[in-house]
């Protein structure tokens, strides 16, 4: 086994790998950008090395700086985690050339399976069924469109060089092909540096099922069962579980053997995942999608049902050890479900969020595991992936695991940064999810009813209680000046109830009507005989996984701003991020719906369009400008105003 391993990653996966290294008695080396100087993975490692400024290209994606950090600390191996350089064949080769062991598959296997077009051809030759689609690489836009028309709509556009759902586009209408191909190329180029695309037949009501494989360097390749990953949003997994309720033993064995053959076809070594698309109505008809040549985000559910530490076996295989067990020794016991906690706002269409973690409570206990890179004070910005942590629950059966996970998400508190915890808890309680009737389109069909249930009155009551408590004089020596009490008392008139102008989404004027108990960390309010308790930090309130940023609202200032713009519409940033495209200038005339700017955050693009026809009267940003959420980007004066 190695003496020292450098972890070439950040966040929760870096913390996760460091945990196993510590258990094995191996010295860990963390790396960090300037943005992560105080991060949890930096504090938990035995040694940490600064590798550059905040942008990933100058730090976590810099092969030279990572190799230099390994040399300076005496590391013998590099664990890449997932994301960044984990599936970069050049990085694997550079590690080998520097005398370092890359904890992952051979570079040739990464390159082969990283090219989805070559990967499909390779596994098809090995007898693994593949989804019908385009053949050949380097197809032009017109060739892709022609292939799509030949397959028949709907089709799925996919980047050849990447994964994780980035750049994927489901196209149902033929006339949308040109626009969607252009958008998919742009996103693929931004995410992977390669805009090569392929097109595949869209499988109706598909289920996404993947097989975990493990291979050593001595010829043993086996599988560790499947994971169901059908609960997705924008092609990104958000809930994963093992095993799948869809598969019987015969199908599980057949898919497992297909995954093993796919791994053998590329000379695989280490832990990897073979992903399949499965028609919901016919699980015996499964198709290879791609192979992820790294550890998966959802690996904990496999660990819990097999009892194996996958990071440990990655390290042992990389150190040259043989796998001491055979396929017949692998047993699946119980059920595990994982939820991905992301910095995003369900009430705003799941746009990326950011901020400082002011209050943090992460669930633990029997049957509950949290993999996290967070601490109180963590700054969540727009430079990196939005996933913050993972909450995993295990039970003897699926119903128990689901119940434990819902309870764990209700206990999760991440104030200061908006997350999807409450949405995930409601999703896990949806009748279709409870029944196991899943497909990759389910989340999109139910998202509106689960994402933004509105702001309950008790939230405003709790926010008002906090403000009332701050106004109340504390007194000295037991005496309180009665004229300083916020009672609404007025000379010669009836008391006027104290009210507050508050805003979560829309501004409201709220008058407290309940009883309250306020502490430093919590606030409890009783309305109509029902007591509600919230966690609190600054202007944030949290309960059952949901969080509300309740700000003071000044109606006078708001009216002055509206008057200053004389009815014009201000276009604001929907999320903290960076302006990447500016298509207009001050004085330009625009039409309703015209694309004006593009804001990017956490590898997600958001197009800012004109709300109506008019003229650009203000433009406060240029390409490269970093913006905060709700920051004014431009102002559009409507046609009616110009005419007047």
Dihedral angle over CA of 291, 296, 301, 306, nearest 10:
70
Q: Is 206 helix (H, G, I), strand (E, B) or coil?
A: strand
Strands 77-79 and 4-7, by their bridges, are: parallel
Cβ 159 vs Cβ 180: under 8 Å: no
CATH of 132-201, one of 3.40.50.1390, 3.40.50.300, 3.30.70.100, 3.30.1490.20: 3.30.1490.20
Tokens of residue 601, six digits? 């955050």
- Please, which residues have CB within 8 angstroms of residue 607's CB and are 6 or more apart in sequence? 595, 597, 598
pLDDT tens digits for range 572-630: 888 888 898 999 999 999 998 899 998 887 767 788 988 889 999 999 899 989 888 78
CATH of 566-643, one of 2.60.120.620, 2.40.50.100, 2.60.40.10, 3.40.50.410: 2.40.50.100
Provide the pLDDT for residue 487: 64
Cβ 18 vs Cβ 315: under 8 Å: no
Peptide bond into 505 cis (omega under 30): no
Q: Burial-class residue 47 by CB neighbours within 10 Å (0-12, 13-18, 19+).
A: middle
CA distances to 25, 28, 39, 181, 319 from 46, in Å? 11, 5, 14, 46, 20
Report the distance separating Cα 327 and Cα 221, nearest Å.
Answer: 8
Q: What is the 3-state secondary structure (H, E, C) of 451-493?
A: HCCCCCHHHHHHHHHHHHHHHCCCCECCECCHHHCCCCCECCE
Q: So where are the chain's domains?
A: 4-103, 132-201, 206-439, 457-472+497-552, 566-643
Q: What is the 3-state secondary structure (H, E, C) of 616-628?
A: EEEECCCCCCEEC
Tokens of residue 497, six digits? 């109830």
Provide the pLDDT for residue 505: 87
* Rounded (5°) CA angle 290-293-295: 115
Peptide bond into 451 cis (omega under 30): no
Q: Is 40 helix (H, G, I), strand (E, B) or coil?
A: helix
Provide the pLDDT for residue 349: 85
Strands 77-79 and 101-102, by their bridges, are: parallel
Provide the pLDDT for residue 478: 61
Tokens of residue 176, six digits? 């949308």
CA distances to 56, 102, 381, 544, 582 from 420, in Å? 25, 34, 16, 11, 30
Q: Where do the DSSP E strands lie in 163-205?
A: 169-171, 197-201
Instruction: Give mean pLDDT in consecutive 10-residue pieces for the chain, a chain of 644 residues.
Output: 98 98 98 96 98 95 98 98 96 98 98 92 95 82 92 90 79 93 90 89 90 98 98 93 97 97 98 95 90 97 98 98 97 98 91 94 96 96 92 98 98 97 98 97 94 91 94 65 61 75 93 94 97 98 97 77 60 86 91 89 80 90 87 85 46
pTM of the model: 0.85
Q: Burial-class residue 449 by CB neighbours within 10 Å (0-12, 13-18, 19+).
A: exposed
Q: Is 449 helix (H, G, I), strand (E, B) or coil?
A: helix
* Rounded (5°) CA angle 606-610-613: 165
Provide the pLDDT for residue 642: 45
CATH architecture for segment(s) 206-439: 2-Layer Sandwich (3.30)
Report the distance separating Cα 314 and Cα 470, nearest Å.
Answer: 54
CATH of 4-103, one of 3.40.50.20, 3.50.50.60, 3.30.1330.60, 3.30.70.20: 3.40.50.20
Provide the pLDDT for residue 603: 67
Q: Where do the DSSP E strands lie in 280-367?
A: 287-292, 335-342, 344-345, 351-352, 355-356, 359-361
């Amino acid at each position: 086994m190695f003496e020292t391993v450098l972890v070439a990653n950040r966040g929760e996966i870096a913390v996760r790998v460091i945990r196993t290294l510590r258990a094995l008695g191996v010295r860990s080396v963390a790396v960090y950008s300037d943005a992560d100087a105080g991060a949890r993975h930096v504090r938990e490692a035995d040694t940490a090395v600064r590798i550059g400024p905040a942008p990933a290209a100058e730090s976590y994606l810099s092969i030279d700086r990572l190799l230099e950090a390994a040399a300076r600390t005496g590391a013998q191996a590099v664990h890449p985690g997932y994301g960044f350089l984990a599936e970069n064949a050049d990085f694997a080769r550079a590690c080998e050339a520097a005398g370092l062991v890359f904890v992952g598959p051979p570079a040739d296997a990464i390159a082969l399976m990283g090219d989805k077009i070559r990967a499909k051809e390779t596994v098809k030759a090995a007898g693994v069924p593949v989804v019908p689609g385009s053949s050949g690489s380097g197809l032009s836009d017109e060739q892709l469109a022609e292939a799509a028309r030949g397959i028949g709509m709907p089709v799925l556009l996919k980047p050849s060089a990447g994964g994780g759902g980035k750049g994927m586009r489901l196209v149902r209408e033929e006339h949308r092909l040109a626009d969607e191909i252009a958008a998919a190329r742009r996103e693929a180029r931004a995410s992977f540096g390669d805009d090569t695309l392929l097109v595949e037949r869209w499988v109706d009501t598909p289920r996404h099922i993947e097989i975990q494989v493990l291979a050593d360097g001595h010829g043993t390749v086996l599988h560790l069962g499947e994971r169901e990953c059908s609960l997705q949003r924008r092609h990104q997994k958000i809930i994963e579980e093992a095993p799948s309720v869809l598969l019987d033993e015969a199908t599980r064995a057949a898919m497992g053997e297909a995954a093993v053959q796919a791994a053998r076809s590329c000379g695989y070594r280490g832990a990897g995942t073979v992903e399949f698309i499965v028609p919901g109505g016919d699980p015996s008809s499964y198709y290879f999608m791609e192979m992820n040549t790294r550890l998966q985000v959802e690996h904990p559910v496999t660990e819990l049902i097999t009892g194996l530490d996958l990071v440990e076996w990655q390290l042992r295989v990389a150190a040259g050890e043989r796998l001491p067990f055979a396929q017949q020794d692998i047993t699946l016991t119980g059920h595990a479900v994982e939820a991905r906690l992301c910095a995003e706002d369900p009430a705003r269409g799941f746009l990326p969020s950011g901020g400082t973690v002011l209050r943090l409570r992460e669930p633990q206990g029997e049957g509950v595991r949290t993999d996290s890179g967070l601490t109180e004070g963590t700054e969540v910005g727009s430079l990196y992936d939005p996933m913050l942590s993972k909450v995993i629950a295990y039970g003897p059966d699926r119903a128990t695991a689901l119940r434990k996970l819902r309870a764990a998400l209700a206990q999760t508190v991440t104030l200061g940064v908006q997350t999807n915890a409450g949405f995930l808890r409601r999703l896990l309680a949806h009748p279709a999810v409870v029944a196991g009737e899943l497909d990759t389109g389910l989340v999109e069909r139910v998202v509106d009813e689960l994402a933004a249930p509105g702001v309950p009155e008790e939230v405003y009551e709790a926010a008002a209680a906090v403000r009332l408590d701050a106004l109340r004089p504390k007194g000295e020596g037991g005496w309180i000046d009665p004229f300083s009490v916020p009672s609404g008392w007025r000379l010669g008139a009836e008391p006027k109830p104290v009210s507050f102008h508050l805003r979560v989404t829309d501004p409201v004027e709220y008058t407290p009507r309940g009883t309250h108990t306020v502490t430093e960390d919590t606030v409890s309010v009783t309305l109509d005989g029902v007591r509600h308790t919230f966690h609190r930090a600054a202007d944030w309130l949290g309960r059952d996984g949901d969080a509300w940023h309740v700000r003071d609202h000044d109606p006078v200032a708001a009216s002055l701003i509206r008057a200053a713009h004389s009815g014009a519409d201000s276009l604001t940033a929907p999320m903290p991020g960076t302006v990447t495209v500016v298509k207009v200038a001050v004085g330009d005339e625009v039409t309703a719906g015209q694309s004006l700017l593009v804001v990017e955050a956490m590898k997600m693009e958001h197009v800012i369009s004109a709300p109506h026809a008019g003229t650009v009267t203000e433009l406060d940003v240029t390409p490269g400008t970093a913006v905060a959420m709700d920051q004014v980007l431009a102002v559009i004066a409507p046609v009616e105003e110009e005419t007047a």
